[in-house]
Amino acid sequence: MSADDLAGYSDDERRKRLNAVKWYQTGNAALSKGSFDYAVEMFSNCVKQVPDHLHYRQMLRGAECRKYRDNKTGASMAFLRVTAVRGKSKKARLQKNWRELDIAGEEGLSINPWDAHFNADVGDAAVHLGWQEVAVFAFEKAVESDPKNKDYLRSLARAYEQRSRYAEAISIWQRVQQLDPLNTEARSKITGLNAEATIKRAGYEKEGGVKLPEVLQGYEQSVKGNAADQNSAAAPGESAEDDLRHAIRKDPANAGNYLKLAELYRKDIRYEEAIEIYQKALQVTGGDPNVRERLEDVQLEMGRRNRDLIKQAAANSPQDAALQQQALDSAKEILQQEITVFTARAERYPQDLRIKAELAQRYFQSGRSNLAIPLYQQASKDPRLEAVVLVSLGKCFLKERKNDLAEFQFKRAVTKLNASDHLKVLLDCHYYLGRLAEESGRTAEAITHYNEVISLDYDYKDARGRMEKLQGDRGPAGELLDDV
């Protein structure tokens, strides 16, 4: 970056950004060599100089996590070392000194980057300082560490809404509602944001009864229309797209602006443009793996959207053999793409059991249960995933015709599941336990499991028919029920 690229900035701001770029490059080099302490120092310098830069924060947090080997607890005796820092953050919050709150939050995260309280401090500070993307990132981290904290969930939902990420905001408000069914704000927000999302979507989505070419044509025309509207002359602040493109021209080495523009396109379902900008960001950052993952996520989103469009078109034209085959091919293609992506991520994050579960699910869907089994076994060690993963593991053993092993997994899972959080999984679990008991001649046990199923979903698969067949045409109390 040259001084000319920073025209429009004050001398002090220009100096800070130039220094940050140098530290960023040094930090990246240190990270690639495994020098995590030095990488943390360099990225921390970047954040101090340019605190509104999202990518610097992301790189810093990633380096901090790697420094502590993703142990989820941070430094040794972290709970003692952060006591003084919590005092600083409390004082800053009381004084409404948001910059100091941000600094205190980062200090605490340097000791334990998974600390939900300090992540939320950074998020609150960012909200008041106008750093919207930093706020989203910080609250996401807080929720990851404390997923049932309603305050953190509400803050994240509001941050998503501020960025017009309505679907994600709705999802978070739904989680708040699950935790607090009487929360009137959650109900109100879900209704209002659904309306906002519908209005936003109306400009470029058609609904029902259309052939695939018509859907794609309408989609492409609307995208072009949106691009034309947004590329027309606009005053600064009137067009986020124009502002970001101008920022990129001024500072072509600033990866954050590329990421913001790509995310803007992504939210507007302008996937091809988003992919193009992410590819440029990848070049600017020298192949940063975090940027590569964002690029992969958009490519997967585009692939899934195309798959769904083709599937809908095929459903509307059941006699079109070519379209039916195209639907099958597109589903296989995106499944293989997902396997490739999740395989790479499982290698990059060997301790992330959620990724292993995602990869196992794709192997199972592709008919390779033998590859899914060891991944599910590893993922089951995460208490948050255990119950659901055990049911998936049982299904894999059924596919491999290892019924005893399958039944063992289902019995482990059934006591850990509840209808409010895992209804579909619980139904599957009882149903397959019923089938296995029935095939083994344990009639009473099979009836018990089928009864559990129909008490939750009366028409689930063929559970009711199987139970009635086992019981005979009339149950033991049949005569008493005739007049009900």
For residues 254 and 342, state if they share a domain. Answer: yes
Output the six-digit token pair for 71. 């142990």
Output the six-digit token pair for 97. 């000194």
> How far separated are the first and last CA of the chain, in Å rounded?
82
* Backbone φ/ψ region at 7: left (φ over 0), alpha (ψ -120 to 50), beta: beta
- The predicted pLDDT at position 364 comes to 95
Task: Note down the domain range covering 295.
Answer: 240-351
Neighbours of 19 (CB within 10 A): 15
Interval 51-93: pLDDT, tens:
998 888 999 999 999 999 989 888 888 778 888 899 999 999 9
- State the average pLDDT over residues 16-41: 88
162 located within any domain = yes
Residues 6+ away with beta carbon under 8 Å from 1: 17, 18, 21, 251, 252, 253, 254
276 located within any domain = yes
- State the average pLDDT over residues 26-36: 87
Q: Which of 331, 351, 371 is the last residue of a domain?
A: 351
- State the average pLDDT over residues 173-195: 80
Looking at the predicted structure, is the pLDDT value of residue 198 above 70? no
142 located within any domain = no
Alpha carbon distance 458, 464 (integer Å): 7
Q: What is the mean pLDDT of the chain?
A: 84
Looking at the predicted structure, is the pLDDT value of residue 483 above 80? no
Do residues 168 and 160 make contact, with C-beta atoms less than 8 angstroms apart?
A: yes
Interval 302-324: pLDDT, tens:
888 888 888 888 888 888 888 88
- At CA 109, angle to CA 108 and CA 113, rounded to 5? 145
**What is the SS3 string spanning the chain?**
CCHHHHCCCCHHHHHHHHHHHHHHHHHHHHHHCCCHHHHHHHHHHHHHHCCCCHHHHHHHHHHHHHHCCCCCCCCCCHHHHCHHHHHHHHHHHHCCCHHHHHHHHHHHHHHCCCCHHHHHHHHHHHHHHCCHHHHHHHHHHHHHHCCCCHHHHHHHHHHHHHCCCHHHHHHHHHHHHHHCCCCHHHHHHHHHHHHHHHHHHHCCCCCCCCCHHHHHHHHHHHHHHHHHHHHCCCCCCCCHHHHHHHHHHHCCCCHHHHHHHHHHHHHCCCHHHHHHHHHHHHHHCCCCHHHHHHHHHHHHHHHHHHHHHHHHHHHHCCCCHHHHHHHHHHHHHHHHHHHHHHHHHHHHCCCCHHHHHHHHHHHHHCCCHHHHHHHHHHHCCCCCCHHHHHHHHHHHHHHCCCHHHHHHHHHHHHCCCCHHHHHHHHHHHHHHHHHHHHHCCCHHHHHHHHHHHHHHCCCCCCHHHHHHHHHCCCCCCHHHHCCC
- The predicted pLDDT at position 8 comes to 54
Interval 387-443: pLDDT, tens:
999 999 999 999 999 999 999 999 999 999 988 888 999 999 999 999 999 999 999
Instruction: Tell me which residue of 263, 282, 283 sits closest to 273, measured CA to CA.
Output: 263
- What percent of the chain shows pLDDT beyond 70? 87
- At CA 404, angle to CA 398 and CA 410, rounded to 5? 70
- The predicted pLDDT at position 310 comes to 85
321 located within any domain = yes
Q: Which of 333, 351, 369 is the last residue of a domain?
A: 351
Looking at the predicted structure, is the pLDDT value of residue 238 above 80? no
Looking at the predicted structure, is the pLDDT value of residue 107 above 80? yes
Report the CATH number at residue 191: 1.25.40.10
Highest mean pLDDT pick, 119-128, 192-201, 220-229: 119-128
- In the structure, what pLDDT confidence band is assigned to residue 189 with cuts at 50, 70 and 90? confident
CB-based burial of residue 303 (10 Å sphere; 0-12 exposed, 13-18 middle, 19+ buried)?
A: middle
Do residues 58 and 281 make contact, with C-beta atoms less than 8 angstroms apart?
A: no
Alpha carbon distance 55, 268 (integer Å): 21
312 located within any domain = yes
Angle between helices 289-316 and 321-348 (to 10 degrees): 160
For residues 190 and 245, state if they share a domain. Answer: no
Q: Which of 336, 351, 366 is the last residue of a domain?
A: 351
Interval 241-251: pLDDT, tens:
888 999 999 88
- In the structure, what pLDDT confidence band is assigned to residue 237 with cuts at 50, 70 and 90? low
For residues 175 and 252, state if they share a domain. Answer: no
Count structural domains, the chain.
2
- In the structure, what pLDDT confidence band is assigned to residue 200 with cuts at 50, 70 and 90? low
- The predicted pLDDT at position 369 comes to 94
284 located within any domain = yes
342 located within any domain = yes
Q: pLDDT: is 43 or 2 the higher one? A: 43
Looking at the predicted structure, is the pLDDT value of residue 38 above 70? yes
Instruction: Tell me which residue of 260, 248, 266 sits closest to 305, measured CA to CA.
Output: 266
- State the average pLDDT over residues 444-471: 93
Looking at the predicted structure, is the pLDDT value of residue 149 above 50? yes
Do residues 63 and 27 make contact, with C-beta atoms less than 8 angstroms apart?
A: yes
417 located within any domain = no
For residues 337 and 263, state if they share a domain. Answer: yes
- The predicted pLDDT at position 197 comes to 65
Interval 326-369: pLDDT, tens:
889 889 989 999 999 999 989 988 999 999 999 999 999 999 99
For residues 345 and 246, state if they share a domain. Answer: yes
Do residues 251 and 1 make contact, with C-beta atoms less than 8 angstroms apart?
A: yes
Interval 367-377: pLDDT, tens:
999 999 999 99
Q: pLDDT: is 267 or 411 the higher one? A: 411
- The predicted pLDDT at position 191 comes to 74
- What percent of the chain shows pLDDT beyond 90? 48
Alpha carbon distance 320, 302 (integer Å): 24
Alpha carbon distance 45, 19 (integer Å): 9
